[in-house]
Chains A and B, each alone.
Chain A
């Protein structure tokens, strides 16, 4: 994905409350102070193993009182995908 394209896409999430809350939740896991955008790859860019990713998702689950099945978590790579997964589960589309 080109940088210009990524920036346009970040703008569409900038006001999304779920996205902003997820960024806050990610901070304690962001030990190398990577700049977080919707396209940040959670596992590889934040250097988290699969268990740490699942622990992080638990924090997000508690904020929204939802539960993600493990198979859904394993398909989430980016912050955008996590944001969209929260919206989908709140709409009752997964789980």
Chain B
């Protein structure tokens, strides 16, 4: 038996996907034109699936700060946070994040993925229980696995189901509940007020991952927890630099007096090099922009509502209320793959999300809106949907040919 035998099904699916056109999971951006446009296959293409919510990746202040950090501190730290990889820059960003969010401590990790891995495996072990929303991101599932804790899924966004599962649990064990602010696939929002109440009544602490909602929701950009007025009920707040903060890295913030001990207990914090100086400087600059430029959030939401309304008017099956993630449900995997190809043909890059691994085995075209999109770009994205729909309707044999997908 070969190591790769287990991938035979995956290989067959991949071949079918390639028959339908391009490789949706191997797109190359040949040149970045702006935060919302890139050259793909030699053609200028609108980016409608980049999670660049505030459009700050090419912000003048951020680029300058990152360039200066490279000049002053070098291209990489070559070390773990625990050894030679903590610079003034990392400390300063941790202080700024803690101050912005209103927590005592914030801890910077190398990616958003390792922030969840590091926080979860640092907080819980095999003696503990973790309760996760069924739609949580892979980094949360993997963090639970790494922690060794008994991990129980509860029904998506159901405080009632969470309460029931907490009641069934052994009273003597440490308990952590993990949810997200906005869920990345459908763009739907958690009822954090209800979930926080259920968690605390059930004797658990609450972790909220605001990866997609930090800088996007709330009056001052502190996420869904701020928007729902429950910041003080979130025991551990995790996030990423690779969305609104326009960089790469991640963080976890908390008021717990022993939280800092995780620095010497969490393997994903200890056994990887710290973020590069340029990444930290870029994130620091974007954090300043989140604080000072409310207009970015206003533009983002105007764009999100405009796109949602246009696609709803075209009769598409949208997965959630207007938010910076607009997910369009297609009838099956084959249609989603064909639709994705037709959109790229029409000059729009979107994300394709197909089973396995999507909530309720849904097949989706997932769009993320940016504050940097112009209304013309938003309208062009909506027009591309119209064109893709018409293209597929005119070629029923296409759908038939890929029905095996």
Residues of A in contact with B (beta carbons under 8 Å apart) = 49-52, 54-55, 58, 65-71, 95
- Inter-chain contact A49/B355, CB cutoff 8 Å: yes
> A49-B361, A55-B134 known; 5 other A-B pairs, CB under 8 Å?
A49-B355, A52-B361, A67-B165, A70-B151, A71-B151
Report the minimum CB–CB distance from B174 to chain A (whole Å): 14
The interface residues of chain A lying within 8 Å CB-to-CB of B169 are 67
Encode contact with A along B140-170: 1 for CB under 8 Å, 0 otherwise: 0100110000111101000000001100111
**B356 contacts A by Cβ under 8 Å:** yes
**B357 contacts A by Cβ under 8 Å:** yes
Q: A50-B356, A51-B357, A51-B359 are contacts. A69–B151 as well, Cβ < 8 Å?
A: yes
Q: A70-B151, A70-B153, A71-B150 are contacts. A49–B168 as well, Cβ < 8 Å?
A: no
Q: A51-B357, A67-B169, A70-B144 are contacts. A58–B134 as well, Cβ < 8 Å?
A: yes
Q: How far is it, in angstroms, between the C-alpha of A3 and the C-alpha of B151 when the chains are bound?
A: 36
The 3 closest A-B pairs by CB, nearest first: A49-B356, A69-B150, A70-B151
The interface residues of chain A lying within 8 Å CB-to-CB of B150 are 69, 71, 95
10 contacts between A and B (CB under 8 A): A49-B356, A50-B357, A51-B355, A51-B356, A65-B164, A66-B168, A67-B168, A69-B129, A69-B150, A70-B151
Partner of B168, one of A51, A58, A65, A71: A65
Q: How far is it, in angstroms, between the C-alpha of A55 and the C-alpha of B361 when the chains are bound?
A: 10
The interface residues of chain A lying within 8 Å CB-to-CB of B134 are 51, 54-55, 58
Q: How far is it, in angstroms, between the C-alpha of A69 and the C-alpha of B148 when the chains are bound?
A: 11
What residue of chain B has the Cβ atom nearest to residue A95's Cβ? B150
Report the minimum CB–CB distance from B3 to chain A (whole Å): 19
Report the minimum CB–CB distance from A75 to chain B (whole Å): 13
Report the minimum CB–CB distance from A73 to chain B (whole Å): 9
The interface residues of chain B lying within 8 Å CB-to-CB of A70 are 141, 144-145, 151-153
Interface SS, B side = mixed
Count, chain B residues at interface, CB 8 A: 22
Encode contact with A along B55-69: 1 for CB under 8 Å, 0 otherwise: 000000000000000
What residue of chain B has the Cβ atom nearest to residue A68's Cβ? B152
Report the minimum CB–CB distance from A68 to chain B (whole Å): 8
Report the minimum CB–CB distance from B244 to chain A (whole Å): 27
Q: How far is it, in angstroms, between the C-alpha of A69 and the C-alpha of B126 when the chains are bound?
A: 12
What residue of chain A has the Cβ atom nearest to residue B359's Cβ? A51
What residue of chain A has the Cβ atom nearest to residue B131's Cβ? A67
Report the minimum CB–CB distance from B228 to chain A (whole Å): 26
Q: How far is it, in angstroms, between the C-alpha of A70 and the C-alpha of B141 when the chains are bound?
A: 9
Report the minimum CB–CB distance from A77 to chain B (whole Å): 14
Q: How far is it, in angstroms, between the C-alpha of A70 and the C-alpha of B151 when the chains are bound?
A: 6
Report the minimum CB–CB distance from B142 to chain A (whole Å): 11
Encode contact with A along B177-198: 1 for CB under 8 Å, 0 otherwise: 0000000000000000000000
Interface residues of B in 349-405 (CB under 8 A from A): 355-361
The interface residues of chain A lying within 8 Å CB-to-CB of B357 are 49-51
Report the minimum CB–CB distance from B184 to chain A (whole Å): 15
The interface residues of chain B lying within 8 Å CB-to-CB of A68 are 152
Q: How far is it, in angstroms, between the C-alpha of A44 and the C-alpha of B89 when the chains are bound?
A: 50
What residue of chain B has the Cβ atom nearest to residue A50's Cβ? B356
Report the minimum CB–CB distance from A38 to chain B (whole Å): 25
The interface residues of chain A lying within 8 Å CB-to-CB of B355 are 49, 51
The interface residues of chain A lying within 8 Å CB-to-CB of B359 are 51
The interface residues of chain A lying within 8 Å CB-to-CB of B360 are 55
Q: How far is it, in angstroms, between the C-alpha of A66 and the C-alpha of B150 when the chains are bound?
A: 14
